[in-house]
Amino acid sequence: MGIEEIREISDRLYEDVIKYKELMKPIEVVLIKGTKEEYDSIAKSMVDKKTLIKLNEKEYPNCYLYRSDRNDVARSEENTYICTKMKDEAGPTNNWVEEREMYEKLASMLSGIMEGKVMYVVPYLLGPANSQFSSYGVELTDNPYVVISQMVIANVGKDAIEGIRKGNYVLGIQATGTLDPSKKYIAHFPEKKLIITVNSAYGGNALLSKKGQALRIESYLARNKELLVEHMMAIEVINPDGKTYGITGAFPSSSGKTNLAMIEPPKDYKGWDARLLSDDIAWIKLIDGKLMATNPEYGFFGVVPGTNEKTNANALEVMKHDTIFTNVALDTKNNTPWWEGKTEKMPDSIEDWQGNRHFEGYAAHPNSRFTSPISQYPKLSKAYGSKTGLEVNAILFGGRRSTLVPLVYQAYSMEHGILIGAMLRAESTAATTGKIGVIKNDPMAMRPFCGYNMADYFDHWRKVLLNAKNKPLFFNVNWFRKGRDGAFLWPGFGENMRVIKWITERIDGKAEAIETPIGYVPSKESFDKGSISDGALEELLEIDRKGWIEELDAVKPFFDAFGERMPKWLWDEYYKLRDRLISW
Ligand code: GTP
Ligand code: SPV
Ligand code: MN
């Protein structure tokens, strides 16, 4: 019956489904139409099988806890591939295997992999319906957790089927397999608009609409369009005069995008407000010469630990109902979720993220997440879901850096802004497997997500921006600077509004700034520092000339790896910055 319905949608979809059905041999094929009944029934059958825990219905209506495999808790970049015909097309930042070779290897792994399981066909829409941002995908998966998660983070069902009927879609295959980490593959075939994940069911590895399609495949496809496909949050900021500012921010994984997207201005910021457009991905398109941002997603897949009334009350509001929690701890006394930072003291009745009563270290996994519909956010921008999006006035970059990088500084020009993005380095976090706290290059927060050679990607940025009539200003921010005692120098979260205010005043040409070799830094008088001490502010805005020269030296081998392909104008910017530092 499932198959017949699919035949009616489109020939291409029918052929794809039959092809992979014959290869993976599921017992049944089920087309997901996106209804609440389907969601509830899949969740219920998981609860019955004890693969999902229903949380306290009074306190957390319609909420569930999912515990993933202990070896499948984050994106694994070492198993993520861009498979094109030529290696150079993927560039030095991506793992590459020749397209056919990888396809053949995966096809043999997929053979019979769904035996005894149901194969769900999940059609989804990314971006607003019937707009120039609309893009379509179909995920074939044997994993019910993946199905219900996709139903939250993408627009699954009717709107998608309408589009898939007409034409193009990206095909994604997620086969759970044994979850053996040594056999994990997250392979992208951008030329074929195909993604295949085997042996992972977690997050960006398995929810293929997200990093796989909305970033890797779409960035590859955007090369020939006036479109930037970015790992960015986006908000609309409103000042007391009612003037609005579109601000986007590219911060690497687990470095503050969701929290800034959900910012609540401090108490003394009367008349200021912020509305959310996106917390993780923004597609920025030139429309009538203006840079307009949209959010392709329909839900959040956000970090939970650290969330409380003080840091992010709006996130708490979102998670209160209709939410899937993944890998948080469980308070068995009242069957509610718990995580580090939720309450000051951990209750006694806690089971950790794996269900252990006795455990050492953290109770909730540091990369534990909440999956909730974006419609539950209390203050969405009107641009969300609109066909034209939000006009972008400022672009922020920001890595997690405990030293060197000031709280905020502004680029001198568009090219300098792109250099700042290209030079972005950040301490690694629990969002990916591997060591935490190691400084890595992560240009525009896109190193793990750019579906093609990043040297071309830098050039693409410049090309799109050269054609923009509304030139955005570029800033770098760093909420994570630490003092000698190891504590954060800046209170962060809602207090980041003080930095945003300075940025809006720069847009209006009002706030005063000091010229330094790295860019404009706020003058003390122009910056509303809140309750931090003068000493802390001084440290947060200081420029360490020697440290910056070392930073440039550290970036050089990374840039060198792009060889001849690296744009000359970017090297010119790099050397201009170096000269400014040396002659300072
Ligand atoms: P991904 O979903 O992985 O892309 O992460 P993200 O960039 O959306 O990061 P998110 O906002 O979820 O924050 C990650 C972690 O950093 C959480 O534990 C937050 O509590 C913490 N965090 C976010 N903003 C701030 C801030 O301004 N200051 C400090 N000190 N911590 C922050
Ligand atoms: C990230 O790592 O940037 C995330 C989480 O947003 S995941 O969806 O798992 O990629
Ligand atoms: Mn992200």
DSSP 498-529: HHHHHHHHHHTT-S-EEEETTEEEE-GGG---
| CA–CA dist 278, 275 (Å, integer) | 9
State the Cα angle at 234 between 232 and 238, rounded to 5°. Answer: 155
CB-defined site of ligand 2, < 6 Å: 75, 203-204, 210-211, 253, 280, 301, 431
| CA–CA dist 367, 379 (Å, integer) | 25
Helix or strand run (H / E) with residue 7: helix 2-9
Helix then strand then coil, % of the chain, to nearest 5:
35, 25, 40
| Gap from CA of 316 to ligand 2 centroid (Å) | 19
Q: Whose CA is nearest to atom 10 of ligand 2?
A: 204
302 pocket-lining for ligand 1 (C-beta < 6 Å): yes
| Gap from CA of 231 to ligand 3 centroid (Å) | 6
| Gap from CA of 23 to ligand 3 centroid (Å) | 32
Q: Determine the atom of ligand 2 nearest the C-alpha atom of 449.
A: 3
3-state secondary structure of 77: helix
Q: Whose CA is nearest to atom 4 of ligand 2?
A: 253
**Given the DSSP bridges, would you call strands 244-250 and 233-238 parallel, antiparallel or unpaired?**
antiparallel
Amino acid 94 reads N
Q: What is the pTM of this model?
A: 0.98
Catalogue the active-site residues: 255
Pocket probe mutation, ligand 1, options 149, 210, 231, 303, max atoms within 8 Å of Cβ: 303
Task: Find the ligand nearest to 210 CA.
Answer: 2
pLDDT tens by residue, 426-473: 999 998 989 999 999 999 999 999 999 999 999 999 999 999 998 999
Which of 342, 297, 2 is closest to 124 using CA atoms? 297
493 pocket-lining for ligand 1 (C-beta < 6 Å): yes
Q: Which residues of the chain have pLDDT under 50?
A: none
| Gap from CA of 115 to ligand 1 centroid (Å) | 40
Task: Find the ligand nearest to 149 CA.
Answer: 2
Q: Whose CA is nearest to atom 14 of ligand 1?
A: 254
